[in-house]
Amino acid sequence: MSVSNGEEITATTIVTIMMNVTELCDSMDIPAVVGPTEVYKSLGHWNTAVYIILILHLLPVWCASTITLFRLSQTQPPNLIPATAWLVSIPPALMSLTATAIVIPSLGKYVEVLLEIVICFGLVKFIQLSIILCGGPDNIVSFCRKRKIMLPIGSPPFVCLLPCRRPEVTRAKFNLMVFAPVLLLVLKIAMLAIDLTILIIGYHPSGNFISFDNLHNIISFPVGLIAIYSYTMFNFIMNDCLEGNSKRFLGIVLLIEFILFDCLRLFFIFLTGTGMLTCVPPFLSQDLVVHLLKNYIKAFLATGLGIPFIKLCSEKIENSQSTASELSTSLSSLVSDRSAKVTSENGEE
């Protein structure tokens, strides 16, 4: 490999450059709070352009959400308004949090957990909305039993279970499936409380992944995996129970958003681990650069998925019991058909 002046760049030269960059990053004097002034001194007007684009994304989401909230009483039955209102508030909450972390990058670590809390809260509220639309857990279990809908244990991420025999949907299994996202929400809140406690007492974590002060992050991986697995199974069942109802797509949008946000963490672990990302003097350390870039991407995702999400929330439902009535009618017809079949068989005998 050579440069324009003909000098050859050897492996030793590359290692030397990397060491110099590392020394430069280590010698940076970064204040406790890095805000717009420090970001401007590091990035210049590149970040000013980001602010302008961010405002153009933030305003439509907030306007759409506010208008939808004011019109909920006209489009939704009274018993659906609380859950739907919380769901409508999720896109502007995500946009506001990402905007805060972009303006003040030093809050990135805490905003990342807050974003996960907001999405997990959305998962829980969608489950509540779906159960109301379907007439309650008992009605859902009966519907699955009569339609012979089995528990989809081969759902992602455990697709390896596809060849296995699917069990019957029972009330106990349904309750466990619904409880897993609630457990994930509680864990995320606990993680934020631990991070804030560490900040308040002035404790400096070791930085090692396998360490006692990182135990809460380690636990979150298996709990998150099980929660998303349970939520995916719930979505598959709701596709049958809410067939013809556009509200079922709300759960899919939330699931996509959770996966994309979570995959960003793994992607940036790869970038920092391979040395593709470094600090930006004089005030942006590698961690701050990572959180800044994450929130750039999350802001665009929150807008792209948020507007369709709000539109789905605003779609009019004439009667909150319509879906439940359809399920009950379906169950009654199945029972009647079976009774008629048994009667005809007895008559033939």
pLDDT at 64 over 80: yes
pLDDT at 323 over 60: no
CA distance 36 to 47: 9
Structure tokens at 17: 């450059």
Spatial neighbors of 176 by CB under 8 A, at least 6 apart, are: 230
Cβ 233 vs Cβ 151: under 8 Å: yes
pLDDT band at 13 (very low <50, low <70, confident <90, very high): low
User: H/E element holding 89?
Assistant: none
Cβ 108 vs Cβ 294: under 8 Å: yes
What is the value of pTM for the model shown? Answer: 0.85
pLDDT of residue 20: 59
Structure tokens at 279: 């600090």
Rounded to 5°, the CA angle 315-318-320 comes to: 95
15-24, 255-264, 308-317: range with lowest mean pLDDT: 15-24
Give the residues across from 8 on adjacent strands: 2
CA distance 118 to 123: 9
Rg (CA), the chain: 26
pLDDT of residue 207: 66
pLDDT at 309 over 90: yes
Q: What mean pLDDT value characterizes the chain?
A: 84
> Of 40-44, 232-236, 245-249, 339-343, which has the strongest mean pLDDT?
232-236
Question: What is the CATH code for 32-348?
Answer: 1.20.1070
pLDDT of residue 4: 47
> Of residues 326 and 317, which shows the higher confidence score?
317
87-101, 107-121, 261-275: range with lowest mean pLDDT: 261-275
Give the residues across from 280 on adjacent strands: 284
The tens digit of pLDDT for each residue in 134-193 reads 989 999 999 999 998 999 999 888 888 888 899 999 999 999 999 999 999 999 999 999
* Annotated domain spans of the chain: 32-348
Identity of residue 99: A
pLDDT band at 24 (very low <50, low <70, confident <90, very high): confident
Q: Report, as an integer, the average pLDDT of 83-106.
A: 95
pLDDT of residue 16: 60
The tens digit of pLDDT for each residue in 195-243 reads 899 888 887 777 666 777 778 778 888 999 999 999 999 999 999 898 8
Q: Report, as an integer, the average pLDDT of 299-308.
A: 93
pLDDT band at 343 (very low <50, low <70, confident <90, very high): very low
Cβ 71 vs Cβ 310: under 8 Å: no
If phi > 0 it is left, if psi is from -120 to 50 it is alpha, else beta; for residue 181 that is: alpha
pLDDT of residue 271: 87
pLDDT of residue 21: 61
